[in-house]
């Protein structure tokens, strides 16, 4: 098997610029997509784009040098195109269009996965955005298999392809299926057969074996990982190593703790104090699926909301880490 291309998924409220920065420091991620920028009925000021995608200040890349495509979500082709043009002028690594968000508050306003009921609108949005941005700038899209069912998956994919998108990510579940397993990777293979653009497989990739089976079933060499990478930051590296028949070399807690500390440094610098402890606990909650040490950390912090007390805990853990290194 060829080494796969690994994309880091956008996840509203979880996989934002903070985790993009931290996770791309480890390696194994070839490209990121930002969480969505909501487009309604106005041309957004530049500060909105840079707030959600601060990598725009760094040439559209994370500090580790990984390209970041900025994602737009909306249902009006003209307004989407106008905002895409402004966004393009800020220099992202590309523009992505969201046709997959399952959140009811988004779907009620005709955005995200709700558009999968309207392939003609999807086509109009993609076409308008493609025409509005420079030809050299990639335009991609992400979709689910459908809204209530997957009967129009190929039709929606064709609307995206024929609208001029350069690449398509398919989350292998419908809106109605949410995030419940399984993911229907075989339907991604059907979508691949229907379109001529590259297709990226997404959904329920938690480990190396999931990635292997997803590639075999979907036929895709490009994978997008989200919650799996949050729970196991070394997943991208392990997938790539496995594809080349190399030892996976799982990331250890000793390697991860300095990154957890770096995450906390960014959180305390960039986020509101009321949200800081919650963000750390949110990540630890994912990490404890993979690391027993994260379980211990989560239990120690789960009732603490004061950032100063979290900092005391962090300093203590780092001191233990340093002492362990010296002893070794």
- Residues serving a catalytic function are 101
Burial class (CB in 10 A: 0-12, 13-18, 19+), 62: buried
Bridge partners (DSSP) of residue 37 are 72
Which position has the token pair 């362990």? 324
Q: How far is CA 230 from the centre of its chain?
A: 10
Strand partners, 5: 222
Helix (H, G, I), strand (E, B) or coil at 62: coil
Three-class DSSP category at 56 = helix
Question: 120 φ, ψ to 5°?
Answer: -65, -35
- E strands in 157-274: 167-171, 199-202, 222-225
Contacts of 251 (CB under 8 A, 6+ apart): 26, 232, 233, 234, 237
Give the CB-side neighbour count of residue 285, counting CA atoms within 13 A.
9
Q: Specify which residues 32 forms β-bridges with.
A: 8, 68
Q: Which residues pair with 95 in a beta bridge?
A: 70, 139
How many residues comprise the chain?
328
Q: Hey, what's the torsion of the CAs at 33, 34, 35, 37, to 10 degrees?
A: -120
């Amino acid at each position: 098997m060829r080494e796969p291309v690994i994309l880091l998924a956008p996840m509203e409220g979880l996989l934002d610029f903070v985790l993009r920065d931290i996770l791309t420091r480890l390696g194994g991620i070839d490209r990121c997509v930002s969480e969505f920028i909501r487009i309604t009925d106005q041309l957004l000021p530049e500060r909105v784009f840079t707030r959600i995608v601060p990598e725009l200040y760094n040439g559209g890349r994370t500090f580790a040098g990984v390209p970041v495509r900025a994602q737009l979500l909306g249902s009006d082709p003209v307004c989407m195109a106008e905002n895409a043009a402004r966004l393009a002028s800020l220099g992202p690594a590309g523009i992505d269009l969201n046709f997959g968000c399952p959140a009811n508050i988004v779907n009620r306003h005709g955005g995200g996965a709700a558009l999968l009921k309207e392939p003609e609108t999807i086509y109009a949005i993609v076409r308008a955005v493609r025409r509005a941005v420079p030809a050299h700038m990639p335009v991609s899209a992400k979709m689910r298999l459908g809204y209530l069912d997957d009967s129009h998956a190929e039709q929606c994919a064709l609307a995206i392809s024929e609208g001029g998108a350069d690449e398509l990510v398919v989350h292998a579940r419908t809106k109605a299926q949410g995030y419940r397993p399984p993911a229907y990777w075989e339907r991604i293979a059907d979508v691949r057969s229907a379109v001529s653009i590259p297709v990226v497989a997404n959904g329920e990739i938690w480990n190396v074996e999931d990635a292997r089976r997803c590639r075999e079933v979907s036929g895709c060499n490009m994978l997008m990982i989200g919650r799996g990478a949050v729970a196991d930051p070394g997943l991208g590296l392990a997938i790539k190593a496995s594809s080349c028949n190399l030892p996976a070399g799982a990331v250890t807690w000793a390697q991860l703790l300095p990154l957890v500390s770096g995450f906390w440094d960014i959180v305390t610098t960039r986020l509101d104090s009321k949200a800081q402890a919650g963000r750390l606990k949110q990540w630890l909650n994912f990490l404890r699926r993979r690391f027993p040490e994260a379980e211990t950390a989560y239990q120690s912090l789960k009732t603490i909301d004061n950032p100063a007390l979290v900092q005391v805990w962090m300093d203590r853990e780092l001191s233990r880490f340093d002492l362990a290194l010296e002893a070794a």
